[in-house]
Amino acid sequence: MIHNPLSVNLCNIELKNPVITASGTFACGFEYGKLYDISKLGAISVKGITREKREGNPSPRIAETYGGILNSVGLQNPGVEIFAKNLLPYLETQKIPVIANIAGDTEQDYCYLAERLSNTSVAMIELNISCPNVKEGGMAFGVKPDSVYKITKAVRKYCKKPLMVKLSPNVADIAENAIAAEKGGANAISLINTIKGMAVNAETRRPILKNITGGLSGPAIKPIALRMVWEASRAVKIPIVGMGGIMTATDAVEFMLCGATAVQVGTANLTNPLNASMIIDELRRYVDKNKLKSISDIRGQLITE
Ligand SMILES: Cc1cc2nc3c(=O)[nH]c(=O)nc-3n(C[C@H](O)[C@H](O)[C@H](O)COP(=O)(O)O)c2cc1C
């Protein structure tokens, strides 16, 4: 077998490379699949799945900011049954690990979704307890360590696949939340979700987003994301998937140096749909240039003295 220096092992799932497309920025990959061979990706984290179909928040729900975007999409998706019957089969043909990102209004919703999706071909479940754009649930479960622990422990019982908990950056201490997820039985942690923010139109004196507030993503949040990945990686033993403003392979390497096993690319898919593909190509050049046997050799290798 030919040695692949870009491959990484995430919770016993072999990824071709550490690049995963982030939930909500790649749908289920179909549109991107028309532009490039998406089977080259490490994995795909699909748009947040809820029990029932959701229309999302009213428009406008995207606002551009310096170095990023604010979104208040609000978990628009067709519901778990349509996902399993109509969307997942396409991803199965691509032979790529699928990470099912799930969200709910109640603990029971999360447990139900984890059990339902455990009976499908998805490789992993990502628990989104960090969405700032829905009133009922999402971030409400993800801000206090106690509730992170409680929901992770509850879902763990129903989840037959590796469970990754996606943490919110809208917290006082990210390390405490990472520890809570690990204690609750998470197999991995992903971070960060978007940072709650808002945009205002000075002429109309109105908020730009109909929802008033939204989640900030893109390069503007990268320093915060790096700091949080660094702090979380020192607090837990389980693998960390880092994200927040990754636009280039250099950004991805920085996250791995801070302790990430793999990375997710989000907003970059919206600025250029080929970005995730280009980051993989660039990473290959980085590995060659630095004569690395494995990209994993750089994990946690940040020099701080
Ligand atoms: C338009 C949009 C929709 C998103 N939808 C979801 C979602 O459904 N579930 C989720 O966990 N994160 C969602 N996110 C957050 C991203 O997955 C990611 O955590 C965040 O954008 C930070 O990464 P980035 O700066 O590379 O975009 C969304 C982000 C954007 C921009």
Domains (range + CATH), the chain: 8-56+75-195+218-298 (3.20.20.70)
Q: Could you give the 3-state DSSP secondary structure of residue 21?
A: strand
Instruction: Give kind and range of the element (H or E) at residue 102.
Output: strand 98-102
Give the helix ranges, DSSP H, for the chain: 30-33, 80-82, 88-93, 107-118, 139-142, 145-158, 174-184, 222-235, 249-257, 268-271, 275-289
Nearest residue (by CA) to ligand 1, atom 8, is 48
Ligand 1 probe mutation, 263, 267, 272, most atoms within 8 A of CB: 267
- Is omega for the bond preceding 2 within 30 degrees of 0, making it cis? no
Q: What is the pLDDT of residues 190-214, one digit of tens each?
A: 999 999 999 999 999 999 999 999 9
The pLDDT tens digits along the chain (305 residues) read 789 999 999 999 999 999 999 999 999 999 999 999 999 999 999 999 999 999 999 999 999 999 999 999 999 999 999 999 999 999 999 999 999 999 999 999 999 999 999 999 999 999 999 877 766 556 678 789 999 999 999 999 999 999 999 999 999 999 999 999 999 999 999 999 999 999 999 999 999 999 999 999 999 999 999 999 999 999 999 999 999 999 999 999 999 999 999 999 999 999 999 999 999 999 999 999 999 999 999 999 999 99
Q: Is 75 touching ligand 1 by the criterion CB < 6 Å?
A: yes
Chain-centre distance of CA 113, in angstroms?
17
Concatenating the DSSP letter of every residue in 47-82 gives S-B-SS-B--PPSP-EEEETTEEEE-----B--HHH
* pLDDT value of position 138: 67
Tokens matching residue 34: 């028309």
Amino acid at 81: E
Tokens matching residue 204: 């109309």
